[in-house]
Structure 1
């Protein structure tokens, strides 16, 4: 026979509480039969909170004992905090992983055999483009983070607004096979300035900063990943110039 839990959560025409749904799912995964009580109006919700002297919903009860909200339930079941906490490389690793799979998929779709050079070109181009999108989502927030360590952006804040567009231009330019004379210098310039800036901030000044590589609101630490992004751009710029000068 399943244990029984009572859950009170807000569920109105205007708002369905996501933590209420998460609490219900967690209780069910833990083997409880959930008596799901929906608070269908703001007034009903306020009355419930006043009656039980709580500030938020959902509220779960097990064995007639009030456990609390979703975070309290996780603690009750000896689970860690929900979501990402603290510094993490997950956003950037996710971007690189998807960019790599996209490069493999594109390469296999348009070439009869595996071409390592083409896969690397596509990987760098996709990575740069996706990273640029992350910055372009909120230029103001990105620039606030970027100007704290980029040497050129510190002197001229407008550069912080230009940078994501330049990165997107370089990535898309590689995908479109635009002349290396045009795309190469852009990628080489922003990559070199970025690499020097990150190296100085992290390895010389020993500053503990968040990276703006995936937008200004990330918890990705400034360091190896940021340097890798800039090395990608330097390599891409040099490669495009090489192709324009000696291969074309």
Structure 2
């Protein structure tokens, strides 16, 4: 059920199995947090009494009367739970913070890169696991990481300058790095111009590995990793070091194949 009137939130009718939500549903704006709050309540087994605030005037009147600054507002039993973040805490779920560190972007990127490499290998050879698939995984991951950086080069370069040794000496290197990573990744994926891809990957991977090792394990600095772009909340450390070492390893293998061929 829903109502567009701003009635006083019900009192005695609120039981542990019933929740009341007031949320903005306007012709030009449907509040996403209101939708999320309603969905969360329903998934937790609550019968939801859904009140729509269909105009700015209704919304302002509701906020003034209830003494709140935002909508949606959720009521359960005799208690005003609050907005979406408060509801998440109330049902025992965590609320992400801008200051929190997370490895979720890294897991998503490398996980999808691995699946893409396996899919391409299957399409090409009707098999999943082989050294070629591992090489494609690294090349695809390099391309995906380059995309993350190229979305906002200014933010990336600012974060990169916090720890990269070469970028601190030659600032323009921080702007060149994403393009170099993309170039090496594409060439390695295609298996062409390895005479160019191999030294590029060796330089950026080698300098990156040394820079990360110094910043994290020698200087003991707590920094965010620029590998996922300028807005990352991924901490600089083992993952960043592994990324660079994988790039170096890939370059060494391809360099050997190039010389042997």
TM-score (norm 1): 0.94
- The one-character-per-residue Cα deviations of 1:30-61 (angstroms, maximum 9, x if unpaired) are 22111111111222211211111100000011
- Name which of structure 1's ranges 197-206 and 113-122 shifts more when overlaid on structure 2: 113-122
| Among candidates 172, 181, 189, match of residue 203 of structure 2 | 189
Do structure 1's residue 228 and structure 2's residue 232 form an aligned pair? no
Q: Which runs of 5+ in 1 are unaligned?
A: none
Q: CA deviation at 1:151?
A: 0.6
Which residue in the other structure is 2:30 paired with?
A: 16
Q: RMSD between aligned alpha carbons?
A: 1.8
Listed one character per residue, the Cα deviations across residues 127-157 of structure 1 (whole Å, up to 9, x for unaligned) are 1011111111111111111100001111222
In structure 2, the gaps of 5 or more residues are 1-14
- Paired with 2:68 and 2:62, the residues of 1 have a C-alpha distance of 8
Are the aligned partners of 1:10 and 1:45 in contact in 2 as well (CA < 8 Å)? yes
Q: Aligned partners of 1:170 and 1:6: how far apart in 2?
A: 56
Please give the secondary structure, in 2, of the residue aligned with 1:118.
Answer: helix
Q: Does the 8 Å contact 1:138/1:215 carry over to 2?
A: yes
Quick check: 205-214 or 154-163, which moved more?
154-163
Name the structure 2 match of 1:167.
181
Tell me, in whole angstroms, the C-alpha distance in 1 between the residues paired with 2:38 and 2:129.
49
Query: 1:200-227, CA deviations, whole angstroms, 9 ceiling, x for partnerless residues?
Result: 1011111011101111111111011111
Q: Which moved more, 1:231-240 or 1:131-140?
A: 231-240
SS in 2 for 1:78: coil
Residue of structure 2 aligned with 1:176, choices 163, 187, 190: 190
- Does the 8 Å CA contact 2:184/2:200 hold for their aligned counterparts? yes
Instruction: Count how many residue pairs are aligned between Structure 1 and Structure 2.
Output: 247
